């Protein structure tokens, strides 16, 4: 089962039984259920494309192909700037040292890759209380 980390600790994936639809599901002609959907977000796509459908989305899963590929951090910031208020998940081999930044840019949670989860116990996934320079200069 996928390990989900939030600012409050580790949990299981409560979306695991439901589908995650492709980024282009709203305009590729496929049949979609009525309830809020989960949508996969490859990190080279344009966030503005999802704007007309944001209120139909309950979860956006932003892909991190590598922990060092930081495009997802800007994707999250952009989605929040564009008004998305639903759940936002970072998914990929992120390491615990990146949790703080992920939460700061607007992610609610990180789906930890099994390869990383196997090595990094729950105690490593902590945020700390430290204020950031960006909080201080209010950006």
Partner 1 sequence: MYMYDDFDAAFVRGRVAEFRDQVARRLDGTLSEAEFLPIRLKNGLYLQLHAYMLRIAVPYGTLDSRKMRQLAYIADRWDKGYGHFTTRTNIQFNWPKLKDVPDILDALADVDMHAIQTSGNCIRNVTADHFAGAAADEIEDPRPTAELLRQWSTDHPEFAWLGRKFKIAVIASEHDRAVLKSHDIGVRIVRGVADEPGYEIFVGGGLGRTPMVAKQIRSFLPKAHLLPYLESILQVYNLQGRRDNKYKARIKILVHETGIDRFRELVETRFQEKLPQFNGVNQKILRRIEGSFVPPAFEAAQPMPPVLGAGLQSWIDTNVAAHRLDHYGIVTVSLKGIGETPGDASSDQMRLLADLAEEYAHDELRVSHEQNIVLPHVPRRHLPAIYDRLKAAGLATANIGLISDIIACPGMDYCALATARSIPVAQQIAERFHELGLEHEIGPMKIKISGCINACGHHHVGHIGILGLDRAGVENYQITLGGDGTETTVIGERAGPGFSYDEIVPAIERIVSAYLDVRTDPEETFIECFRRVGMTPFKEALYPPEEARSNAA
Residue 136 as a binder of partner 1 (CB under 8 A): the answer is yes
Question: Does the footprint of partner 1 cover residue 68 (CB under 8 A)?
Answer: yes
Q: Which is nearer to partner 1, 19 or 81 (CB)?
A: 81
42: contact with partner 1 by CB under 8 A = no
3, 21 in Cβ contact below 8 A? no
User: Residue by residue, what is the 3-state secondary structure of 71-114?
Assistant: HHHHHHHHHHHCCCCCEEEEEECCCHHHHHHHHHHCCCEEEECH
Q: How many C-beta atoms lie closer than 10 Å to residue 50's C-beta?
A: 20
Residue 1 found at the interface with partner 1 (CB under 8 A): no
Minimum distance from residue 131 beta carbon to partner 1 (Å): 7
Q: Which is nearer to partner 1, 23 or 37 (CB)?
A: 23
Footprint of partner 1 on this chain (CB under 8 A)? 67-71, 73-75, 77-78, 81, 95, 97-98, 100-102, 104-105, 119-121, 124, 128, 130-134, 136-139
């Amino acid at each position: 089962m996928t390990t989900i980390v939030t600012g409050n600790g580790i949990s299981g994936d409560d979306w695991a039984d439901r589908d995650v639809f492709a980024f282009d599901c709203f305009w590729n002609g496929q049949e979609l259920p009525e309830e809020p959907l989960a949508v996969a977000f490859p990190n080279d796509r344009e966030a503005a494309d999802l704007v007309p459908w944001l209120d139909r989305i309950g979860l956006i899963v932003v892909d991190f192909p590598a922990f060092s590929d930081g495009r997802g951090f800007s994707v999250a910031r952009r989605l929040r700037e564009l008004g998305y208020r639903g759940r936002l998940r970072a998914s990929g081999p992120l390491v615990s040292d990146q949790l703080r930044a992920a939460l700061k840019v607007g992610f609610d949670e990180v789906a930890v890759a099994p390869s990383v989860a196997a090595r990094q116990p729950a105690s490593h996934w902590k945020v700390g209380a430290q204020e950031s320079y960006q909080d201080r200069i209010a950006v």
